[in-house]
Amino acid sequence: MTDPAQRLDLFENPDFDRGASKLTELVWMMVQAWLFGSWLPGSGWRVKLLRAFGASIGRGVVIKPHVTVKFPWRLTVGDHVWIGERVWIDNLAQVTLEDHACLSQGAYLCTGSHDWTDPRFTLITKPITVGQGAWVGAQATLAPGTVLEEGAVLAMGAAGSGRLAARTIHRADGSTRPRLKQDADATPKPGG
């Protein structure tokens, strides 16, 4: 048998700083599983929970049911941000959602990956920023290190990585076009 491309038995993660104590992380995991990520309606109490665990959350934030946040202490949310149902903020590194950003249903923000060229499959983490007035469409994915610039749209089902230009619609097929003020299909509706 040939050597596998990665040797998961060699994986170690001693240098990764989780950003909080093991006890804090354990308590958050329970709160996330049993309360925050539940079907129960309401944004205000979800905002309070995130703040209690170290997130910086602005005014007028809407958080729908079934949202998952890995580490609240690595989350900054501006004013009037909408986070839709089943959004997963997998924030091993910092995630910043600027004012008036919108994450639609099922969006996935992934700040961690692995070095596939290293047989030890070393962890790599990079922050994500969703700029002011930017919109991550339903079922869209942001890769580690992505910056979705001001007013940009990552369309439904698209995968975004790197720097995604401001006031541009980035489609799932890889094409782009300017986001024009009159674009009815590029305006988030209430509730994500």
Q: What tens digit of pLDDT does each residue of 1-15 get?
A: 577 788 899 998 888
Taking the C-alpha atoms of residue 133 and residue 80, their distance in angstroms, rounded to an integer, is 10
Q: Identify the architecture of domain 20-179 in CATH.
A: 3 Solenoid (2.160)
CB distance 115 to 122 below 8 Å: yes
Quote the pLDDT of residue 146: 98
Quote the pLDDT of residue 6: 84
Quote the pLDDT of residue 14: 86
> Which DSSP letter does residue 3 get?
P
Taking the C-alpha atoms of residue 107 and residue 88, their distance in angstroms, rounded to an integer, is 6
Q: What tens digit of pLDDT does each residue of 122-139 get?
A: 999 999 999 999 999 999
Quote the pLDDT of residue 4: 75
Quote the pLDDT of residue 5: 81
CB distance 117 to 102 below 8 Å: no
The ranges of the chain with pLDDT < 70 are 1, 182-192
